[in-house]
C-alpha cells in the first residue's frame, strides 16, 4: 500500500458518529422523541456499558476492601478477598489507596505482573522492565515518544496494519509520527503477508524514517490469531530492517478459535535464540480495559520493554513522571488480573465460574453474530478466532452508493448514521481499500459482541429491521 493516511482536518466517519451519538443522548435526556429509548454503543469494546457484570472478586478487593477498610474487620467479604485487600493496603503509602505511587507503578504490582509474564511465557521477566500505565494507549504513546527522539531529517514513521484499532492514528498524530500502512487482506484470513509488508516498507523508504512496526496480537479488530511461524517471520523482518516491535496483546485472554492459541511475541523471541533474542527491541502492552476483564473505568495496564537500553528505560520513566501516577484502584485491579484466586481459595470457584461464563458467552455470541450477518444480503462475515469484535463486510448496491454520494456522504457513514438515527445503535465503520489504496464499494462494520445473549438479540433485531428497510429502498 503506497498511500499514506493523512489528516484532512475533517472528522473521520468514526468521530462524526460519536459526535452525533452524544447529541442524541443529550436530546433523550431533554425529552426529545426518538424511535428508541437509549443509545446502544457497541463500537468501543466497553462490555460493562452493554450489560456484562463486573467480576465479583475484583470489586470485593478493589472497591470494597481497599476503599472501605472497615469491611476488613467483618465477615462481609470472603476471607481471601480481605487478605488480598489488607496486603495491598500494606503496600500503599500510608496504608491508603488515596496516596500517590511511583511513576512507573507500585513495586508490588510490578512484581506480580513480572511473575504473571514469566509463568505465561516460561521466560524470566525483569521487574525493572515493567511499567504500570493508565492503559495500553498510554503505554503505546510513551514508546512512540521514545522512538520520535531520534532527531532524523525524515519524519518518524510507524508501520501499522490496515485494518487497525480505531484509536491508533490519533495516537500517532499526537506524538508527530506518520502512520505507514501495510494491508491485511480478508481473502488471506487477515494474516500478515510478508511480501506485502516488504513492498510497503520499500515504498516508504526515502520519504520517511520507518522506526517501528505495530502489531496487534490477537488482531484488533479482525480477530486473527498469529501462529508461531508468522511471529517468527515478523521478528526476522524487524531485525533485518532495524525496526522496533510495538506489540499490542490486550486480547490474549479471548482466543476461542479451533486449533488457535495465544503465543506472545516475547516467548517466540526467546525461543528463537541469538542473535534475535538478544538484539530485537520489543515493547508488549496489556490492559485491564480490554478482553475478558473489561474494566474500562478503572484504567490500568502494563508495558514490558525487552532488549531496550537502560538509559532508554530511565527516559521512559521520566516520560511517565510527566503525568500523575496511574490510579491506585486501577493498579490494584491489574494485580488481581495478573494474580487471580487460586484453587482452594474461597473465591476461586466463583471467579472461575464468572470468567468461564464470559468466555463461553463470547464464543457463542461470535458464532451467532457471524451466522446472522451471513444471512443478510450484502453482508459477508468470515469466522473469527479471538477478540471481542466482529468485523463483517457490507457491499453497497450502485443505487445506494449513488444516493450516499448525492448527499455528500461516504456510504459507510451514511449507512451507520441512519442506523444510529433510526435504531439508536452505534457501530464502528471503516472503508475497504486495496493495496494501491483504491477505495471500493465495500465497508466493514465493527461490533463488540461480548454482552449478555439477550442484549445481543436486541441488537441483532434492530440491525435486521434496519437493513431490511435499506434493502427495500435500494
In a domain, 78, yes or no: no
Q: What is the pLDDT of the chain when averaged over all its residues?
A: 91
What percentage of the chain reaches a pLDDT higher than 70? 94
Tens digit of pLDDT for each residue in 157-169?
999 999 999 889 8
Tens digit of pLDDT for each residue in 346-388?
999 999 999 999 999 999 999 999 999 999 999 999 999 999 9
The mean pLDDT value for 425-430 works out to 95
The mean pLDDT value for 52-65 works out to 92
Instruction: Note whether 334 and 365 are same-domain residues.
Output: no
SS (H, E, C) 419-437: HHHHHCEECEEEEEECCCC
Q: Which of 338, 372, 395 is the last residue of a domain?
A: 338
The pLDDT assigned to 2 comes to 45
Nearest to 326 by CA among 88, 101, 169: 101
pLDDT above 90 for 470: yes
Instruction: Note whether 305 and 394 are same-domain residues.
Output: no
In a domain, 83, yes or no: no
Instruction: Note whether 233 and 126 are same-domain residues.
Output: yes
In a domain, 166, yes or no: yes
CA 21 to chain centre: 21
Instruction: Note whether 255 and 221 are same-domain residues.
Output: yes
Instruction: Note whether 129 and 175 are same-domain residues.
Output: yes
- pLDDT band of residue 471 (cuts 50, 70, 90) is very high
**CA separation (Å) from 200 to 1, 160, 224?**
5, 10, 21
Tens digit of pLDDT for each residue in 8-55?
456 788 889 999 999 999 999 999 999 999 999 999 889 999 999 999
The pLDDT assigned to 206 comes to 84
The pLDDT assigned to 21 comes to 94
pLDDT above 90 for 412: yes
In a domain, 79, yes or no: no
Nearest to 165 by CA among 43, 294, 257: 43
Question: Which domain, by its residues, includes 415?
Answer: 13-52+352-473
In a domain, 344, yes or no: no
Q: Which residue has the cell 465493527?
A: 446
Beta-bridge mates of residue 305: 283
In a domain, 67, yes or no: no
The mean pLDDT value for 256-281 works out to 96
Q: What is the largest CA-CA distance in the chain?
A: 69
Q: Cβ(284)–Cβ(139) under 8 Å?
A: no
Nearest to 192 by CA among 212, 222, 148, 170: 222
d(CA 110, CA 101): 12
Instruction: Note whether 444 and 420 are same-domain residues.
Output: yes
d(CA 54, CA 99): 25
d(CA 326, CA 137): 13
pLDDT above 50 for 7: no
Supply the CATH number for residue 419's domain.
3.90.1150.10
Which residues make Cβ contacts (< 8 Å) with residue 359, sequence separation at least 6?
254, 256, 292
Q: Which of 278, 307, 338 is the last residue of a domain?
A: 338
Q: Cβ(211)–Cβ(244) under 8 Å?
A: yes
Q: Cβ(29)–Cβ(427) under 8 Å?
A: no
Tens digit of pLDDT for each residue in 96-122?
888 888 888 899 999 999 999 999 999
The pLDDT assigned to 438 comes to 58
Tens digit of pLDDT for each residue in 304-335?
999 998 877 777 777 766 666 788 999 999 99
d(CA 64, CA 312): 38
d(CA 437, CA 453): 38
Instruction: Note whether 249 and 374 are same-domain residues.
Output: no
The pLDDT assigned to 156 comes to 84
Complete DSSP assignment for 108-128: HHHHHHHHHHHHHHTS---GG
pLDDT above 70 for 150: no
- pLDDT band of residue 60 (cuts 50, 70, 90) is very high
- pLDDT band of residue 418 (cuts 50, 70, 90) is very high
Instruction: Note whether 368 and 332 are same-domain residues.
Output: no
Q: Which residue has the cell 473505568?
A: 297
Instruction: Note whether 290 and 184 are same-domain residues.
Output: yes
Supply the CATH number for residue 254's domain.
3.40.640.10
pLDDT above 70 for 88: yes
CA atoms within 13 A on the CB side of 146: 27
The pLDDT assigned to 439 comes to 62
* Residue 221, preceding peptide bond in cis (omega within 30° of 0): yes
Q: Which of 293, 315, 338 is the last residue of a domain?
A: 338
The pLDDT assigned to 459 comes to 97
Number of domains in the chain: 2
pTM of the model: 0.92
In a domain, 383, yes or no: yes
Instruction: Note whether 295 and 368 are same-domain residues.
Output: no
Instruction: Note whether 140 and 28 are same-domain residues.
Output: no
The mean pLDDT value for 329-348 works out to 95
Instruction: Note whether 309 and 389 are same-domain residues.
Output: no
Worst-scoring range by mean pLDDT, 72-76, 179-183, 409-413? 72-76
More confident residue, 123 or 317: 123
In a domain, 134, yes or no: yes
- pLDDT band of residue 1 (cuts 50, 70, 90) is very low
Amino acid at each position: 500500500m503506497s498511500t499514506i493516511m493523512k489528516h484532512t482536518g475533517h472528522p473521520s466517519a468514526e468521530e462524526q458518529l460519536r459526535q452525533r451519538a452524544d447529541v442524541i443522548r443529550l436530546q433523550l435526556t431533554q425529552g426529545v422523541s426518538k424511535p428508541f429509548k437509549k443509545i446502544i454503543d457497541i463500537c468501543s469494546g466497553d462490555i460493562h456499558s452493554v450489560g456484562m457484570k463486573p467480576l465479583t472478586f475484583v470489586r470485593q478487593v478493589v472497591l470494597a476492601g481497599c476503599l472501605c477498610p472497615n469491611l476488613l474487620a467483618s465477615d462481609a467479604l470472603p476471607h481471601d478477598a480481605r487478605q488480598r485487600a489488607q496486603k495491598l493496603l500494606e503496600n500503599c503509602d500510608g496504608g491508603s489507596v488515596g496516596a500517590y505511587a511511583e511513576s512507573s507503578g507500585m513495586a508490588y504490582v510490578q512484581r506480580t505482573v513480572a511473575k504473571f509474564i514469566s509463568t505465561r511465557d516460561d521466560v524470566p521477566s525483569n521487574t525493572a522492565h515493567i511499567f504500570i500505565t493508565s492503559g495500553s494507549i498510554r503505554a503505546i504513546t510513551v514508546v512512540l515518544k521514545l522512538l520520535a527522539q531520534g532527531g532524523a531529517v525524515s519524519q518518524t514513521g510507524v508501520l501499522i496494519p490496515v485494518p487497525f484499532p480505531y484509536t491508533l492514528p490519533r495516537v500517532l498524530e499526537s506524538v508527530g509520527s506518520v502512520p505507514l500502512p501495510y494491508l491485511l487482506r480478508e481473502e488471506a484470513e487477515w494474516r500478515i503477508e510478508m511480501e506485502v509488508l516488504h513492498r510497503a516498507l520499500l515504498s516508504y523508504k526515502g520519504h520517511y524514517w520507518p522506526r517501528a512496526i505495530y502489531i496487534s496480537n490477537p488482531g484488533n479488530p479482525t480477530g486473527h490469531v498469529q501462529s508461531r511461524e508468522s511471529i517468527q517471520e515478523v521478528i526476522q523482518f524487524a531485525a533485518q530492517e532495524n525496526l522496533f516491535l510495538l506489540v499490542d496483546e490486550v486480547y490474549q485472554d479471548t482466543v476461542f478459535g479451533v486449533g488457535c492459541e495465544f503465543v506472545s511475541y516475547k516467548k517466540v523471541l526467546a525461543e528463537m535464540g541469538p542473535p534475535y533474542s538478544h538484539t530485537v527491541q520489543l515493547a508488549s502492552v496489556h490492559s485491564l480495559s480490554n478482553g475478558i476483564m473489561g474494566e474500562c473505568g478503572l484504567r490500568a495496564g502494563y508495558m514490558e520493554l525487552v532488549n531496550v537500553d537502560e538509559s532508554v528505560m530511565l527516559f521512559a520513566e521520566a516520560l511517565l513522571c510527566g503525568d500523575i501516577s496511574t490510579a491506585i484502584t486501577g493498579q490494584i485491579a491489574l494485580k488481581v488480573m495478573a494474580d487471580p484466586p487460586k484453587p482452594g481459595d474461597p473465591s476461586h470457584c466463583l471467579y472461575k465460574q464468572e470468567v468461564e461464563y464470559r468466555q463461553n458467552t463470547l464464543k457463542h455470541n461470535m458464532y451467532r453474530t457471524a451466522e446472522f450477518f451471513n444471512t443478510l444480503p450484502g453482508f459477508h462475515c468470515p469466522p473469527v478466532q479471538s477478540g471481542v469484535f466482529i468485523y463483517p463486510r457490507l457491499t453497497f448496491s450502485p443505487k445506494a452508493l449513488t444516493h450516499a454520494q448525492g448527499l455528500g456522504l461516504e456510504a459507510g457513514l451514511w449507512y451507520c448514521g441512519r442506523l444510529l438515527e433510526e435504531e439508536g445503535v452505534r457501530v464502528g465503520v471503516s472503508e475497504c481499500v486495496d493495496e494501491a489504496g483504491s477505495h471500493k464499494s465495500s465497508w466493514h462494520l465493527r461490533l463488540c459482541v461480548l454482552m449478555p445473549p439477550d442484549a445481543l438479540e436486541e441488537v441483532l433485531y434492530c440491525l435486521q429491521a434496519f437493513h431490511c428497510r435499506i434493502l427495500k429502498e435500494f
